[in-house]
Structures are given as C-alpha cells and as structure tokens.
Homo-oligomer: A and B are copies of this chain.
Amino acid sequence: MVGREEFTLSAKPCVLVYAEDDPEVGPPPWDLLDDVEVVPAGGPVPPAAEILYVWDHRLADLGALLRAAPRVRWVHANSVGVDRLLCPELRGRTLTNARGVFDTSITEWVLAAVLAHVKGLAETWERQRRGVWEHRVTGRLAGRRAAVVGTGSIGRATASGLSALGMTVELVGRTSERAGGGRGSDSLTKVARDADVLVLALPLTAETAGLVDAPVLEALGPDGFLVNVGRGRSVVEADLANALRSGLIAGAALDVFEVEPLPANSPLWTLPGVLVSPHMAGDYQGFEADMMSIFGDNLHRWQAGRPLRNVVDLDLGYVPG
C-alpha cells in the first residue's frame, strides 16, 4: 500500500511556482493543465517537488530558490531571454524557456514601429493633437534594407516579416558576427553600414553586451533606424542618446532598456524619433494560455521521460539552433 501511495503521489506532478501578486503579470492559468500540485516557491518545499516554474520572469535570485529546493531538476522560464536566471545553481539541472510564444507578437510590433517611423505616424498624431492639417511627403519601406541581428525564433520571424514587406533583409548571427573578428562589433559596423533598419533580437550574453555602440550607430547613418526587442544592455544607451541628439541616426524603437523601468531622467524619453515602449512588445491578449501550453507540453514530456523542448544551453545563454 505504501508503494502504491507513492506511485499516486509521483503521478501528480508537484510544481514549485514563482509568481508575484502583481497585476502586470497575472496568475498562472493552472486550469489549462491536467491535475498538478502547485506549491508557491520560497516557502517549505515538498520532497516531491522536482519542477520549478518561473512564471514571473522578473525573478531576481533564482540561485537562492534552487539552494532551498535541492531536488528540483527542471526549471522552466516564462520568458525567452533568461539572462536574469543564469546562475551556478543551474549546473546539473535543465533550464527551458518560452521560445516561440512571442514570435508573432514581437514581429508585429517591429513592423508597426518601422512602418510608423517610415510613414511619420508620430508626427501625424502630434499635428492632430494641435488640430493642424499639414500635408507631408513621407517614405516607403519596400526596397529598403534591414539587418536583423539574432537568429533565434524571434529574429527569424521578424526577418521574415520585414521581407514580406518588400525589404531586403540580412539575418545576422554569431557566425557572421565572429567573421569580422573580436566580439563581432567590427562586422556589425559593416552590417549597419549596409542597413537602413537595424533590428536587435539578441539574448544578453557576454558577447552581446554593449554590442551596439557609437561606431555601429555612426555606420547606421543619418537615415538609419534602430529597433531593440532583445535586451537593453546590448546597446550602449549613452552612445544611443548621443547619436539621436546629434542626428547621427534618424530614430529608434526601443522595447528594452539598460535599466527597467526606464529611469525618469533618461534622455530617451524625449529625444526626437524615439519610441519608448515599456517591455511589452511580446505580450498579447491570451499569451498566458500560450505560455502555460508550452510548459504543459514539456510537463507531459517530463512525465513520459521524453526529451524536453526549448532547452537552454547554459554556456551560450539561450536555446541554440
């Protein structure tokens, strides 16, 4: 009987979950899963808890949680970028992420931002607020050149979307970054020189931190437009502010920043041609259910002893391939 009871216990997976009580990130929709036992992370850890679901991606100290839950073998993150989660305690454990869930929504946000820039929608709304009817001649996107840096699923989807709009698109990954030598900055300068629109869809790693600096922005040029949907620290924000202030580039659409929320004294709030978006490009009505669906699929794999999807390479800091 003891053996049978243990079997029953292990058949109902016990999931530690980190979720803040915060309206910005709603509660996990557990009802979408089959029967699971959910235990808040941070309190007493049941012996059966082998899984930690980081529902709120803003978790500051995964290491502390894992030290208190030595039997956790699999950590699933509700985000694509996992830079905040990487810690020595993950060694010997499996980390998976939500890769794929934001592909369409972020692609659409990038297209919205780039088209709005080319068509001058911010300026049109500004005149509308003042009740001013003022005809202007704006640009066309078709035939112009984009470079998308980052070959993950978001980068590939974004490149495909820009291509569907008639842009010539170069998709830039580690290989071509490295071809120029150094950490890729040299070749990124070449990439930027050939691009009208430079889109960053990069994880934050030692190689990508500070990748876009003054020389890259200068190469992008006075008609150039920068989009960042990856991580803020891929861009040297002081260099970007200087470039925008001096007209070294035409504008930027930023969903991510070195420090979030963007500090009140950041010049980016008011510099011309800038869209400041509060890290929301990926979130769409119903994304919580799609998040849970990715976790649920992996949970079934875990229970069946099959390989998990979206496994992060802990050395690279993202899901390769």
Contact = CB atoms under 8 A, between A and B. Distances in A.
Contacts of A279: 135
B104 A283 contact: no
Interface in A269-292: 269, 274-281, 283-285, 287
A235 B24 CA distance: 39
Interface in A144-159: none
A124 B115 CA distance: 16
How large, as a class, is the contact surface on chain A? Answer: 35 or more
Copy total for this chain: 2
A165 B164 contact: yes
A138 interface: yes
B135 A24 contact: yes
A163 B139 CA distance: 22
A122 interface: yes
Contacts of A136: 278, 280, 283
A214 B108 CA distance: 31
A139 B104 CA distance: 11
Contact of A137 (B131, B260, B262, B280): B280
Contacts of A269: 128, 131
Interface string A274-318: 111111110111010000000000000000000000000000000
Contact of A280 (B112, B135, B141, B274): B135
A137 B133 CA distance: 32
B135 A285 contact: no
A113 interface: yes
A108 B165 contact: yes
Contact of A111 (B104, B134, B165): B165
29 contacts: A104-B140, A104-B166, A108-B115, A108-B118, A108-B119, A108-B141, A109-B119, A111-B111, A112-B116, A112-B118, A113-B121, A115-B115, A116-B121, A124-B275, A124-B277, A124-B278, A128-B269, A128-B275, A133-B260, A133-B262, A134-B278, A135-B279, A135-B283, A136-B278, A138-B285, A139-B285, A140-B285, A161-B165, A164-B165
